[in-house]
Amino acid sequence: MESTFITALQNITSPEVLLVIFLAAVYGLFVGSIPGLTATMAVALLIPLTFYLDNLSAIAAIVTLEACSIFAGDIPTTLVRIPGTPSSAAYTDDAYSLTQKGLHETSLGVSLVFSVAGGLFGALVLILAAPLLAKIAFQFTTYEYFWLYVLGLSCAAIVSTGSRLKGALALMIGLMFSTVGLSEVHSVPRFTFGFDELFTGINFIPAMIGLFGLSEVFRNCLTSKTDEKVQQLQSTLNSEDDHAVWKHLKPVFGGVLPQFWKRKFSWLRSSCIGATIGMIPGAGADIAAWISYAVSKKFSKTPEEYGKGSLDAVGDATSANNSALAGAWIPALVLGIPGDSVTAIVIGVLLMKNITPGPEIFSNPDQLVLVHGIYLTFILVNLLLIPLGFLAIRSGSQLVRVPRRILMPLILMFCVVGSYSINGSYFDVWVMLGMGLIGFTLEVFEIPLGPVVLGIILGGRLEQAFVQNLTKDDSFLSFFNRPISAGLGIFCLALWLVPLVMPFLRKKWQIKD
Amino acid sequence: MNQRVFLSKTVRLTLLLLSMLLWGGCSTSTVENYPDRPISIICPWSVGGATDRTSRQVAVFLEQELGVPVNVINATGGRGVTGHSRGLKARPDGYTLAVITGELNMLHWQDLTSLTHQDAIPIMSLVDGAAAVFVQNDSPFQSMQEIQKYVKQNPGKLTATGTASGGIWHLALAGWLDFSGLKADDIKWIPMNGAGPSLQELASGGVDLVCCSLPEAKTLYESGQVRCLGVMAEEPLPEFKEVPTFISQGMNWNISGWNGLALPRDTPQPIVDKISNIMKKITSGEVVLQKKTFPEFMQAAGLSTRYRADKEFASFLKSNDQTLGKLLTSDAFSQMSSRGTGPLVFPGLLAIAICVIVVCLSVQKKVHALAPEVSSDTVTSQGIVNAALVLSGIVAYLLFAEKVGFVLTAGAILFLLLWKFGTRWWMSALITALFIPGIYTLFAQLLRVPLPRGFLGW
């Protein structure tokens, strides 16, 4: 055990591997910060290269790429309100509100440090408990999935700013969009109106770019904000006598460490949520971010700030989505079941390299070295992310200084190119355009956009689980017939019913008193 | 003075652009110098699956042989309709190759598309994975005969999965039931998207059987989490010799899922020949990449292959189409698909929920909250013009990008928007000249994400 660990350490600190990790980190930050390019896509683009790399370098490159691009997704989210990856959608409004207050560097600093901390926690869980926890994946059948999706969606609706009913309405609109296209379970096209392109349904990435990014462009245009510069709140933290280096570090990290110390328990809670949800195949960083956001709001002393620029929210959600990454590797390595789309590719790469993921890779000494290498990469990458992420934040922040009349057309171009490039389809650009108009309209009515996005992402899976359950057994009671599904189900129902019933109960108690 | 220097610079820039235009115009691609720009392979299934892995492997080898970048695009969804349509309906210029799978011979029988195998010029069949039946490790069943007997006595008791309803593995199992003289819905089929989630469901105890190919279940099978009761192939698979065939259990039933490379109909013959010859070289193991040949790579990935070239592939497509068509149009199968929770149940529930919410909002006397709030940043007339410009910019891109190409279309739109938003014209031109080629290099060259190509190729 110890000897393999030392071998792994030696392998990973070899110059070649370090170089690969460094390059992959830069590439990951780059890809993640461009809206429309996802972590999955970045990893898929890397596959041909992995043939030329040795096993450890290949896997290390994928780990690095994944961790860096998920963090980098926060950069466009914060600066221009286009979520770089779906995992950032939960806290888009918070992060962007902070930018409008001139606090974008603090917000990104919190994102960075909490991402790193969440990532490290996830890595620890992976290292210490992988074989033990892998069995969680085998507890989930379609019944449990159904309730898990309901839970994720409920969280999105409940935590959204403003009225809970409007959150629910937004959610239903999102779910409705997800029913467009060929229904996977029925093999029947729905709401396609004769368009072949609509068979695929509405892709959530152009939808996300349109809902958040394009609608923001429209709003800026309509209110003639294109004429103004963003107000530059010169950070009050900066004082004259600061050391030269600290001057650069302070806007990003200045407020972070006290924030982190203040939120250490909530960080732990969010990371646990992230790692647990990441472990369940088919649920990923996006659901983890939403649930952790909801829990964070529930326990917060200042829930009214959530959605309007809360650093707590950004920190908690971002540590959850990063710790979910490592969680997804647990079922992939131990059982050969991919936890998310990236680990699905990883399994393919491993098979190509003559390694079959499964319990035996923990007993075969050669392969155990590789597994330890993966552990070490997770730790190394998260540490490397601090300086590299800092540089990315500093260079990205220059964007905010660009006058809006120049920035808006450039953002528009990125919206168009980003939505086109996912599938190379013009139809996705139409979707982006349509969603931009819808997003703009919804915001006028103060209906939150986050739940719409999550509805589109999870709608298909929710319906699938629903239909699967009803195919197995016609009665709704069967939804509660397994211990975990019963627990999750009752929790979900309580989440919705308690706030409805509470006012009546309270009145009764008051009368009694 | 400065202005003048700048002007002369822009004139020179314009000249340069113009000459590039002309030069670009001369070098329109012809059949002789094929290929002179990147090629795309359209894969109808998602990243990580067997078909995706095959496509990427082919891409790497083709890239080495053709000397131009070969990119894989996963056009997923719609049970393969999307990907097959995009691959086979692409411009037949040899720059789009299509990966076709068994679904091509199924979707048209189910009235989901008008595409058939006749829309494809078959080049080479690659993977050929026979269907196999899996049970959980502690399942009481030891052989297919036991299952057959159990189903005969308890029709409708067992549940199985592996793919969507009407997918290839569903067909394999239903066909076997039909062959055994049972009804196709004597084993309940739970629709799932893909073998991975199905196997997880099996291991979690959610279903009794899974039908999919052996390589797809390799990891769980080898770690002993699931057992394989039989494979629907003529002979035991070389990699899984211990798995008995259906034939050896007294049931003469074979079916397999396959994939292969094809070109859109009407592709010029010289291009077809070129790709076909290269694919023959690749699949025969003549081409070596990283000290490994293509067949060796495929074997390492655990994919069982069957290489059939041109004519042989074409005749296989034809016979496969008939076999699957017979199954899909049989009474047993058509009765079954009309059962269960209908496709409009879920959207119907959602519609009801939306109505309830809207009613609640009005009952709560929050109707005013639904009305647009007139905020302090009032809409100006200039603003409406600007928003209309943005809108028409996107529409113009959609209309012209495919014909004119990304660089010119996007450049024109960006320049106009910047200029109309109040940036001085030379500044707008400068930003456009820096930004658009920058994006092009970034996406098309570095990240290899395709951007629209016009008549100039960029």
Which among A341, A283, A459, A463 has a CA at the least distance from the CA of B164? A463
Question: If you ran DSSP here, which 8-state letter would residue A360 be given?
Answer: G
Segment among A295-299, A344-348, A445-449 with least mean pLDDT = A344-348
Segment among A222-231, A344-353, A490-499 with least mean pLDDT = A222-231
Q: Do A412 and B393 touch (CB under 8 A)?
A: yes
Report phi then psi at A158, rounded to 5.
Answer: -70, -40
Say yes or no to pLDDT of B211 above 60. yes
A261/chain B closest Cα distance in angstroms:
39
Q: Buried b / exposed e across A168-180, counting CB within 10 Å, b at 16+?
A: bbbbbbbbbbbbb
- pLDDT tier, B141 (very low <50, low <70, confident <90, very high otherwise): very high
pLDDT of res. A237: 46
Segment among A442-451, B42-51, B53-62, B415-424 with least mean pLDDT = B42-51
Pairing of strands B159-161, B209-213: parallel
Q: One-letter amino acid identity for A186?
A: H
CB A419 within 8 A of CB A237: no
CB B324 within 8 A of CB B102: yes
Q: Domains of chain A: which residue ranges?
A: 2-231+254-512
Among A residues 307-366, those touching chain B with beta carbons less than 8 Å apart: 335-338, 341, 344-345, 347-348, 351-354, 356-360
pLDDT of res. A472: 84
How many other C-beta atoms lie within 10 A of the C-beta of residue A374? Answer: 23
pLDDT of res. A230: 47
Q: Do A356 and B219 touch (CB under 8 A)?
A: yes
Facing residues of B293 across strands? B288
pLDDT of res. A379: 93
A243/chain B closest Cα distance in angstroms:
36
Facing residues of B99 across strands? B261
Residues B232-259, mean pLDDT to the nearest whole number? 90
Q: Which residue has the tokens 């008939």?
A: B322
A-chain residues near B401 (CB < 8 A): 426
Q: Do A405 and B200 touch (CB under 8 A)?
A: no
Q: Do A223 and B383 touch (CB under 8 A)?
A: yes
pLDDT of res. A121: 94
B-chain residues near A429 (CB < 8 A): 394, 397-398
CB B264 within 8 A of CB B96: yes
How do residues B306-320 score in pLDDT, each as one tens digit? 899 989 999 999 999
Centroid of chain to Cα A403: 29
Q: What is the mean pLDDT of chain A?
A: 84
Residue percentage of chain A with pLDDT more than 70: 94
Mutation target vs B (from A148, A413, A440, A457; most B CBs, 10 A cutoff): A413
Question: If you ran DSSP here, which 8-state letter would residue A103 be given?
Answer: -
pLDDT of res. A234: 44
Mutation target vs A (from B42, B74, B76, B82; most A CBs, 10 A cutoff): B82
What is the C-alpha to C-alpha distance for residues A151 and A286, in angstroms, rounded to an integer? 13
What is the C-alpha to C-alpha distance for residues B385 and A437, in angstroms, rounded to an integer? 16
Measuring CA to CA, how many Å separate A477 from each of A74, A481, B132, B342, B346? 41, 7, 33, 19, 18
A-chain residues near B377 (CB < 8 A): 223, 225
- pLDDT tier, B21 (very low <50, low <70, confident <90, very high otherwise): very low
Mutation target vs A (from B91, B386, B399, B420; most A CBs, 10 A cutoff): B386
Q: Which residue has the tokens 């992976």?
A: A126
What is the C-alpha to C-alpha distance for residues B205 and B223, in angstroms, rounded to an integer? 17
Burial of B400 (0-12, 13-18, 19+ CB in 10 A): middle
Say yes or no to pLDDT of B2 above 50. no
Q: Do B353 and A356 touch (CB under 8 A)?
A: no
pLDDT of res. A114: 92
What is the C-alpha to C-alpha distance for residues B91 and B412, in angstroms, rounded to an integer? 26
pLDDT of res. A383: 92
- What beta strand segments (E) does A349-427 contain? none
DSSP B208-222: SEEEEETGGGHHHHH
What is the C-alpha to C-alpha distance for residues B41 and B33, in angstroms, rounded to an integer? 19
Closest residue of A to B298, CA-based? A352
Nearest Cβ partner for B77 among A34, A185, A201: A201
Question: If you ran DSSP here, which 8-state letter would residue A466 be given?
Answer: H
Q: Which residue has the tokens 């059962």?
A: B339
Q: Do A426 and B401 touch (CB under 8 A)?
A: yes
How do residues A383-439 score in pLDDT, each as one tens digit? 999 999 999 998 888 887 888 888 889 889 989 988 888 777 888 899 999 999 999
Segment among B69-78, B104-113, B151-160 with least mean pLDDT = B69-78
A-chain residues near B201 (CB < 8 A): 141-142
Mutation target vs B (from A30, A184, A361; most B CBs, 10 A cutoff): A184
A184/chain B closest Cα distance in angstroms:
6
Classify the complex by whether its ipTM is higher than 0.90, answering yes or no.
no
What is the C-alpha to C-alpha distance for residues A81 and A283, in angstroms, rounded to an integer? 24
Q: What is the mean pLDDT of chain B?
A: 84
B-chain residues near A470 (CB < 8 A): 340-341
The residue count of chain B comes to: 458
Q: Under DSSP, is residue B44 helix (H, G, I), strand (E, B) or coil?
A: coil
Query: Which tokens belong to B101?
Result: 């799978």
Q: Do B354 and A173 touch (CB under 8 A)?
A: yes
CB A339 within 8 A of CB A327: yes
Q: Do A138 and B360 touch (CB under 8 A)?
A: no
A246 contacts chain B (CB < 8 A): no
What is the C-alpha to C-alpha distance for residues A500 and B360, in angstroms, rounded to an integer? 12
Q: Do B290 and A353 touch (CB under 8 A)?
A: no
B-chain residues near A221 (CB < 8 A): 383, 386-387, 389-390
A-chain residues near B370 (CB < 8 A): 445
CATH number of B39-127+257-336: 3.40.190.150
Which among A380, A149, A473 has a CA at the least distance from the CA of A287? A149
What is the C-alpha to C-alpha distance for residues A332 and A314, in angstroms, rounded to an integer? 28
How do residues B72-109 score in pLDDT, each as one tens digit? 888 877 778 888 988 998 888 888 999 999 989 998 98
Segment among A417-421, B5-9, B160-164 with least mean pLDDT = B5-9
Q: Do B347 and A190 touch (CB under 8 A)?
A: yes
Residues A33-37, mean pLDDT to the nearest whole number? 79
pLDDT of res. A238: 47
Q: One-letter amino acid identity for B236?
A: P
What is the C-alpha to C-alpha distance for residues A424 and B75, in angstroms, rounded to an integer? 9
CB B219 within 8 A of CB B132: no
Q: One-letter amino acid identity for A217?
A: V
3-state helix, strand, coil in chain A (%, to 5): 80, 0, 20
Centroid of chain to Cα B23: 36
Q: Do B386 and A338 touch (CB under 8 A)?
A: no
What is the C-alpha to C-alpha distance for residues A416 and B439, in angstroms, rounded to an integer? 12
What is the C-alpha to C-alpha distance for residues A94 and A74, in angstroms, rounded to an integer? 11
Report phi then psi at B307, rounded to 5.
Answer: -90, 115
pLDDT of res. B24: 43
Residues B186-197, mean pLDDT to the nearest whole number? 84
pLDDT of res. A235: 45
Report phi then psi at A200, rounded to 5.
Answer: -70, -20
How do residues A241-284 score in pLDDT, each as one tens digit? 556 667 777 777 877 778 888 888 889 999 999 998 888 887 78
Q: Which CATH superfamily is domain B129-255 in?
A: Periplasmic binding protein-like II (3.40.190.10)
Question: If you ran DSSP here, which 8-state letter would residue B237 be given?
Answer: B
Report phi then psi at B229, rounded to 5.
Answer: -90, -20
What is the C-alpha to C-alpha distance for residues A455 and A168, in angstroms, rounded to an integer? 10
pLDDT of res. B19: 47
Query: Which tokens belong to A406?
Result: 């120049």
How do residues A330-386 score in pLDDT, each as one tens digit? 888 887 777 777 887 788 788 777 777 877 788 788 888 888 999 999 999 999 999
Query: Which tokens belong to A96?
Result: 């962007």
Centroid of chain to Cα B443: 21
B138/chain A closest Cα distance in angstroms:
14
How do residues A308-340 score in pLDDT, each as one tens digit? 888 888 999 999 989 999 888 988 888 777 777
Which has more confidence, B215 or A231?
A: B215
Segment among A223-227, B90-94, B454-458 with least mean pLDDT = A223-227
Residues A165-189, mean pLDDT to the nearest whole number? 86
Query: Which tokens belong to A455?
Result: 């509805």
A-chain residues near B160 (CB < 8 A): none
CB A58 within 8 A of CB A97: no
Q: Give start-end residues of each CATH 3.40.190.150 domain in chain B.
A: 39-127+257-336
What is the C-alpha to C-alpha distance for residues B405 and B408, in angstroms, rounded to an integer? 6
CB B120 within 8 A of CB B259: no
Query: Which tokens belong to A196?
Result: 């072949």
- pLDDT tier, B369 (very low <50, low <70, confident <90, very high otherwise): low
Report phi then psi at B102, rounded to 5.
Answer: -50, -30
How many other C-beta atoms lie within 10 A of the C-beta of residue A236? Answer: 6
The residue count of chain A comes to: 513
Which among A76, A77, A79 has a CA at the least distance from the CA of A102? A79
How do residues A98-107 score in pLDDT, each as one tens digit? 988 888 888 9
Query: Which tokens belong to B344?
Result: 């409009």
pLDDT of res. A308: 83
A458 contacts chain B (CB < 8 A): no
CB A59 within 8 A of CB A92: no
Q: Do A190 and B340 touch (CB under 8 A)?
A: no
Q: Give start-end residues of each CATH 3.40.190.10 domain in chain B.
A: 129-255
DSSP B329-386: TSHHHHHHTT-SS-TTHHHHHHHHHHHHHHHHHHHTT-HHHHSPP--SSPPPHHHHHH
Query: Which tokens belong to A465?
Result: 């689980």
A434 contacts chain B (CB < 8 A): no
What is the C-alpha to C-alpha distance for residues B228 and A487, in angstroms, rounded to an integer? 33
Facing residues of B262 across strands? B98, B122
Dihedral angle of Cα A51, A55, A56, A58, to the nearest 10 degrees: 20
DSSP H or E run through B122? strand B120-136
Which among B174, B163, B143 has a CA at the least distance from the CA of B246? B143
Report phi then psi at B292, rounded to 5.
Answer: -130, 145
What is the C-alpha to C-alpha distance for residues A199 and A180, in angstroms, rounded to an integer? 8
Size of interface A-B (CB pairs under 8 A): 297
Which among A403, A259, A191, A397 has a CA at the least distance from the CA of B428? A403
Long-range contact pairs involving A191-194 (C-beta distance under 8 Å, separation at least 24): A191/B347
What is the C-alpha to C-alpha distance for residues A41 and A18, in angstroms, rounded to an integer? 23
- pLDDT tier, B226 (very low <50, low <70, confident <90, very high otherwise): very high
pLDDT of res. B164: 80
pLDDT of res. B23: 43
How do residues B276-293 score in pLDDT, each as one tens digit? 999 999 999 898 887 788
A229 contacts chain B (CB < 8 A): no
